[in-house]
């Protein structure tokens, strides 16, 4: 082979090598993953609907090996979840702190502006469900089987009738205000740190009624200790076919509680995407779908900007509702002194 031919051959080989190098895919950028235990905050006490859901999620994810690190569940129920909101705000930029929400996510910042919390700044990871409320009494109350029976009994007892609930100014107390304002009642609301304590108060007859979620009465209802009177939804629940929806009784009203996962403000976009994908896959899995069915949960998965807009709309709705309830309560004959 001549020198010219050799040079041409070497040049062609070099060009081919360069082209092959250019065509080869660039090394993939490593996806973000948690490198230390994840702190999963609950805005309420042990035994409530949120607490039970988070502990179920943590165990299911561990069993299915969905995470390379463990989940540490931490309850921060003080100040109707204000403690949890303030804590998450203080973890700005933290990729290893997430929180599970109730509707106190909306109401507590409205009730406690001194917290300086703007829920729109939290990372919108995923809404896993919308929970439902039922009005419960003790099964020994043979005289109460309908909403009319309930109203009659509560009116007769006046302010001595105790409605137990989680937190102050949040969903349970708002539903109590709704019942007081709508039916001319004067029930006294007694706040506790979690739905588990609330359910126990009713089971042990220290309270006359509650508005627990289904999961919160799982220790008592199956044993016949407590009974539901109405459900605050548009139609009956599959697991409670004998319990009428409030709408069936002539009151066109329904109320749901979000069950969402949020991240700290300024969480990195890579971490936010990681958690969004993780919880989207978990939502679709058999474990969570089974939990949803068992506990009468509904609602589709929401994430990202769609979830953030949902929060902001719900916050506005709750602000309007609280204002309307305050006006109705002021006008209620049951609240006027003789």
Residue written as token pair 């069936």: 248
Cα separation, 13 vs 8, whole angstroms: 9
Query: Encoding tokens for residue 283?
Result: 């939502």
Cα separation, 118 vs 296, whole angstroms: 30
CB-CB contact of 36 with 68 (8 Å): no
Is 132-251 the same fold as 38-131+256-322? Answer: yes
Indicate the pTM of the whole model: 0.84
Residue written as token pair 């190098």: 21
Query: Encoding tokens for residue 24?
Result: 């080869």
Q: How many other C-beta atoms lie within 10 A of the C-beta of residue 42?
A: 25
The CATH H-level superfamily of 38-131+256-322 is Bordetella uptake gene, domain 1 (3.40.190.150)
Question: Would you list the domain boundaries of the chain?
Answer: 38-131+256-322, 132-251
Cα separation, 289 vs 294, whole angstroms: 9
Cα separation, 182 vs 180, whole angstroms: 6
pLDDT number for residue 22: 44
Residue 116 — left, alpha, or beta (φ > 0 → left; ψ -120 to 50 → alpha)? left
Query: Encoding tokens for residue 174?
Result: 């708002």
The string of DSSP letters for 312-332 reads HHHHHHHHHHHHHHHHHHHH-
Per-residue pLDDT of the chain (338 residues; tens, 9 = 90+): 443 444 345 444 444 443 443 444 433 345 999 999 999 999 999 999 999 999 999 999 999 999 999 999 999 999 999 999 999 999 999 999 999 999 999 999 999 999 999 999 999 999 999 999 999 999 999 999 999 999 999 999 999 999 999 988 889 999 999 999 999 999 999 999 889 999 999 999 999 999 999 999 999 999 999 999 999 998 999 999 999 999 999 998 999 999 999 999 999 999 999 999 999 999 999 999 999 999 999 999 999 999 999 999 999 999 998 888 888 777 776 655 43
Does domain 132-251 sit in CATH 3.30.300.30?
no
Q: 89, 198, 70, 185: which is closest to 134 by C-alpha?
A: 198
Residue written as token pair 């089971």: 203
Identify the DSSP state of 204: T
């Amino acid at each position: 082979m001549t020198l010219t031919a050799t040079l041409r051959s070497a040049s062609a080989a070099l060009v081919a090598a360069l082209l092959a190098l250019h065509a080869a895919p660039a090394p993939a950028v490593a996806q973000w993953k948690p490198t230390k235990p994840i702190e999963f905050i609950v805005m309420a006490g042990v035994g409530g609907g949120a607490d039970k859901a988070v502990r179920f999620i943590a165990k299911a994810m561990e069993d299915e090996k969905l995470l390379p690190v463990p989940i540490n569940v931490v309850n921060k129920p003080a100040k109707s979840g204000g403690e949890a909101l303030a804590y998450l705000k203080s973890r700005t930029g933290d990729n290893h702190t997430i929180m599970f929400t109730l509707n106190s996510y909306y109401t507590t910042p409205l009730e406690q502006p001194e917290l300086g919390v703007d829920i729109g700044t939290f990372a919108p990871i995923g809404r896993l469900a919308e929970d439902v409320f039922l009005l419960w009494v003790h099964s020994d109350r043979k005289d109460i089987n309908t909403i009319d029976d309930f109203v009659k009994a509560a009116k007769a007892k006046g302010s001595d009738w105790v409605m137990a609930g989680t937190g102050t100014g949040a969903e349970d107390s708002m539903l109590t205000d709704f019942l007081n304002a709508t039916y001319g009642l004067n029930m006294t609301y007694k706040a506790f740190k979690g739905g588990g304590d609330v359910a126990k108060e009713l089971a042990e007859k220290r309270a006359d009624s509650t508005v627990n979620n289904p999961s919160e009465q799982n220790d008592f209802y199956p044993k016949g200790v407590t009974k539901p009177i109405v459900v605050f939804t548009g139609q009956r629940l599959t697991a409670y076919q004998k319990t009428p929806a409030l709408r069936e009784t002539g009151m066109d009203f329904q109320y749901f509680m979000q069950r969402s996962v949020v991240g700290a403000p300024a969480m990195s976009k890579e971490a936010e995407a990681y958690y969004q994908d993780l919880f989207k896959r978990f939502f679709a899995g058999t474990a969570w779908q089974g939990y949803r069915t068992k506990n009468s949960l509904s609602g589709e998965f929401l994430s990202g900007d769609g979830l953030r807009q949902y929060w902001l709309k719900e916050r506005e709705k709750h602000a309007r509702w609280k204002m309307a309830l305050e006006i109705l309560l002021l006008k209620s004959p049951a609240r006027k002194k003789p």
